[in-house]
Amino acid sequence: MVLPIRVFDDPVLRAVTHRVPGPSEELDRLIADMTETVRHAGGIGLAAPQVGRSERLFLVDLTFMMEELDEEAQAGFPLQPMVFINPMILWEGPEELDFEEGCLSIPGVRENVIRPERIRISYHDQAFTKHTIEAGDMLARVIQHEYDHVEGILFIDRISPLRRTMLRRRLREIARGVVETDYLIAAHQRAA
Ligand code: ZN
């Protein structure tokens, strides 16, 4: 089921998320719905707060980008959507990268964000098997953006004060529901 996406400045995007206690049918359903939702919206990542759930869980789905990459770049690239449950970033590499980001919860806004180029993260997969991986490039970028969501942080919090001031009007419009998307967003936002 495609779930409506919560947009700025829905309080759930800022709420403290809870650890997922363990595997369950409900969790499986949420992950299936989030997978459908991120594909419907044409996104590459989605965190539980974005569908109104304060849980420490996000998805990264880079599969559709595979075709655009050469063989070398494909190595180490996830071949299927990845589910990160109760993630913890353990290490951030010393190199930083300035790269443009967008967010399904902040439609139409794209801004450059500086983040570490490589990270190490531990998480549980859907079966609650624990993994620790090191990620770089695009995967590291999307993981960090989604990880921020489960910490109640949005990418606009990480841009310069000047850029944020320039966006103020646009953000106010989004908060008031003056926003058009080709994917489903939460109804109360439109009515706000
Ligand atoms: Zn986002």
The structure tokens 């989605």 sit at: 46
**170 C-alpha to ligand 1 centroid (Å):** 17
**49 C-alpha to ligand 1 centroid (Å):** 10
Does 55 participate in catalysis according to the annotation? no
Whole-number pLDDT of residue 71: 72
**21 C-alpha to ligand 1 centroid (Å):** 24
Confidence (pTM): 0.93
**76 C-alpha to ligand 1 centroid (Å):** 23
Give the three-class secondary structure for 135.
strand
Catalytic residue among 55, 101, 111, 146: 146
**Residue 49 and residue 12 in contact, taking contact as beta carbons nearer than 8 Å:** yes
Give the three-class secondary structure for 130.
strand
Distance CA 134, CA 192 (A): 42
Whole-number pLDDT of residue 191: 46
Q: What is the mean pLDDT of each run of 10 residues along the chain (192 residues)?
A: 96 96 97 96 96 97 76 69 96 97 96 97 96 94 98 97 94 92 79 45
The structure tokens 């951030």 sit at: 92
Whole-number pLDDT of residue 64: 74
Which residues are placed with Cβ below 5 angstroms of ligand 1, an ion? 103
